[in-house]
Structure 1
Amino acid sequence: MSVPRSTSDVLGSVLREVSFASAAYRWVEMGAPFRLVFDRPGLRGVHLIASGACELALAGGTVTPLAAGDTVILPRGDHHELRSGAAATATSGFELAARTPGARLRGCGPRVTATIVCGAFIAGDPGHPALRGLPPVLFVPGVDGHPPSWLAPYVEVLRQEAFDAGPGSDVVMARLSDALIARVLREPGPVADHPGWLAGLRDPHLAAALAALHAEPAHPWTLASLSAEAGLSRTAFTARFARTVGEPPMRYLQSLRLHQARRLLAEERLTVAAVATRVGYTSDVAFAAAFRRVFGVPPAEWRRSLDSPR
């Protein structure tokens, strides 16, 4: 078939495709009671608890107690808030940052009860199907009030940059943010029980199949050929993939192909038929039907919408 593939490259290639980019970090000192809300569409959060304690609350009602040394990342951009006590009114984290000069923010009660390094980053490709394979919250608990040793160097430098905000800090924080997110995603703990491609990478059989799919999404894959890559029977592979990754293998492949098709339609002046061929469809009619079924419009119309005034 093709050259041997390394499963260790899948995480790197997917992160490059998603293209996480840092937006900003701030050193935030809050006094209880407080409710610090983060609800800006498209922005994903990183919160490093430097001292004190608070709670992370998601819009759906999930609440996670946080203490010094804890790190949380919200890779899918879910609306959330950091809170402590029974605050009557909410403070927008983005509005607080906008009206406060510099990188150090202070809000709510008279006595500081929690110090948090709050970061916001964006996904350069927010529609990438890999984002569905990440849990809403990646939680890394601290150890005796400090980040775990494998994460501590990243957190410490980010804390210092957010506190000092010296020349070039934005560039430094952008690079450190990318490294911190990648390092957390490499650890099994934060994503242990969440179905998705990351969980699949931790299964040696599925990792081989995922590496093959990501290396050559346009290849004419079948359940039989993917099962052979995984070293499993077709029945065992199909059940294992769906259970671990959260969707059947051929649907996962279709998501990869259609995502690549959208990128080609947006960035290159290829015909719809040429795009269909590039992403692995033998028929442009079948490609157009699949595209419309998933995105609601035919590929040509979707491309024209990019050029329409908004």
Structure 2
Amino acid sequence: MPVPETTSDVLAAVLSEVRFTSAAYRWIEMRGPFRLVFDRPGLRGVHLISAGGCDLLLDGEVTPLAAGDTVILPRGDFHELRYGHAGATSGFELAARSEGAGLRGGDSGHQVTATIVCGAFVAGDPEHPALRGLPRLLLIPAAQSRWLEPYVEALRQEAFDPGPGSNVVMARLSDALIARALRRHGEVTGQPGWLAGLRDPHLAAVLGALHGDVARPWTVASLAATAGLSRTAFAARFPAVVGEPPMRYLQALRLHRARLLLRDERLTVAAAARRVGYTSEFAFAAAFRRAYGVPPGTWRRAAT
């Protein structure tokens, strides 16, 4: 089924706001038992299993990975890739102490057990409320990844045989891979979140309207009208699909935009409040303090 234009617009808007930026990719050849730990705050992992296999460990849950599988961790959770039993090695430290795109680890006396193309990306705006609506893990099994094959193959080639400008090429390919993976996840997921909301044409229209005009004096009734649903149906449908009530989603979006205005444009508290749709500076300050623990004026001064 074609992706609705509103869905594409909202996904593009959110990705633009979050400002994902890909870091360099490396291919890692691991021999024998190994345990690669990825625990650098702020970095969100991308792993392409080129050959062999290993397990992904995330919060005690083990996910077996085989050749052709791709995993993305959009929230930046700490995780491990491991095979058998071995002492821990930091994936980031391994990359830091090795020159070039090719890394080797594990016991050199053993055969290669896994070849992995590892990359990472960061969120330029790590506190964007949309990040909490992303899945912790995106697993694209080899059998279901035909739509990703051009990106994955190109990334593999650049990582295994880098040339001039490879880092730039890999960053752009990674950006496209992540965007397509998130869009695909939104098309098939049953997990509540704004990605699931984009699959629902009624709620996609609402999400597009909210992100497009956050300052408008929205009410549940006006949002229901935008969705083309009754107030009762909309009030039940939005939290069931998106995971939180519509006005709470709107408030989080408004407060986040206000933080950017206070920090980047150096607006006064009153001006920032008006720009994001608050008619009362007092109400804005109270909501800001509940969300972030400090008054907006204090936060503005500290952000300089």
2:262 matched to 1:252? no
SS in 2 for 1:53: strand
Question: Which digits, 9 at most, give the CA deviation of each residue in 1:235-255, with x for residues without a partner?
Answer: 211111111111100000001
SS in 1 for 2:216: coil
Q: Closer, same or farther in 2 for the Cα pair 1:169/1:20, shift >3 Å?
A: same
Question: Which digits, 9 at most, give the CA deviation of each residue in 1:4-49, with x for residues without a partner?
Answer: x833200001001001001111001112311100000000000001
- In the TM superposition, what is the alpha-carbon distance from 1:190 to its structure 2 partner? 8.2
Partner of residue 213, structure 1: 210
Alignment of 1:59-70 (within 5 A): 60-70=59-69
Q: Which deviates further from its counterpart, 180-189 or 153-162?
A: 180-189
8 Å CA contact 1:134–1:191 kept in 2: the answer is no
In structure 2, the gaps of 5 or more residues are none
8 Å CA contact 1:135–1:191 kept in 2: the answer is no
8 Å CA contact 1:69–1:142 kept in 2: the answer is yes
Please give the alpha-carbon distance, in whole angstroms, between the structure 1 residues aligned to 2:296 and 2:277.
Answer: 15
8 Å CA contact 1:47–1:116 kept in 2: the answer is yes
Please give the alpha-carbon distance, in whole angstroms, between the structure 2 residues aligned to 1:304 and 1:269.
Answer: 9
Alignment of 1:154-233 (within 5 A): 154-188=151-185, 192-233=189-230
Please give the alpha-carbon distance, in whole angstroms, between the structure 2 residues aligned to 1:293 and 1:159.
Answer: 46
Q: Which deviates further from its counterpart, 186-195 or 69-78?
A: 186-195
2:125 matched to 1:128? no
Displaced runs of 4 or more, over 2 A: 5-8, 188-191
Q: Closer, same or farther in 2 for the Cα pair 1:30/1:189, shift >3 Å?
A: farther
Partner of residue 11, structure 1: 11
Letter in 1 for 2:94: L
2:232 matched to 1:235? yes
Letter in 1 for 2:192: P
TM-score when normalising by structure 2: 0.95
SS in 2 for 1:301: helix
Question: Which digits, 9 at most, give the CA deviation of each residue in 1:74-101, with x for residues without a partner?
Answer: 01000000011122x1000000000111
Partner of residue 114, structure 1: 114
Partner of residue 305, structure 1: 302
- In the TM superposition, what is the alpha-carbon distance from 1:221 to its structure 2 partner? 0.4
Partner of residue 22, structure 2: 22
In structure 1, the gaps of 5 or more residues are none
TM-score when normalising by structure 1: 0.93
The alignment yields a C-alpha RMSD, in angstroms, of 1.3
Partner of residue 274, structure 2: 277
Partner of residue 80, structure 1: 79
Please give the alpha-carbon distance, in whole angstroms, between the structure 2 residues aligned to 1:117 and 1:277.
Answer: 47
8 Å CA contact 1:103–1:162 kept in 2: the answer is yes
Please give the alpha-carbon distance, in whole angstroms, between the structure 1 residues aligned to 2:209 and 2:17.
Answer: 16
Please give the alpha-carbon distance, in whole angstroms, between the structure 1 residues aligned to 2:215 and 2:180.
Answer: 29
Question: Which digits, 9 at most, give the CA deviation of each residue in 1:34-72, with x for residues without a partner?
Answer: 1100000000000001011111111x2121111111111
Percent of pairs with identical residues = 73
Partner of residue 95, structure 1: 93
Please give the alpha-carbon distance, in whole angstroms, between the structure 2 residues aligned to 1:293 and 1:234.
Answer: 28
8 Å CA contact 2:187–2:196 kept in 1: the answer is no
Please give the alpha-carbon distance, in whole angstroms, between the structure 2 residues aligned to 1:76 and 1:294.
Answer: 20
8 Å CA contact 1:129–1:255 kept in 2: the answer is yes
- In the TM superposition, what is the alpha-carbon distance from 1:177 to its structure 2 partner? 0.9
8 Å CA contact 1:117–1:159 kept in 2: the answer is yes
Question: Which digits, 9 at most, give the CA deviation of each residue in 1:110-146, with x for residues without a partner?
Answer: 2111111000111000000111010100111102xxx
- In the TM superposition, what is the alpha-carbon distance from 1:173 to its structure 2 partner? 0.9
Please give the alpha-carbon distance, in whole angstroms, between the structure 1 residues aligned to 2:15 and 2:236.
Answer: 26
Letter in 1 for 2:296: P
Aligned residues: 298
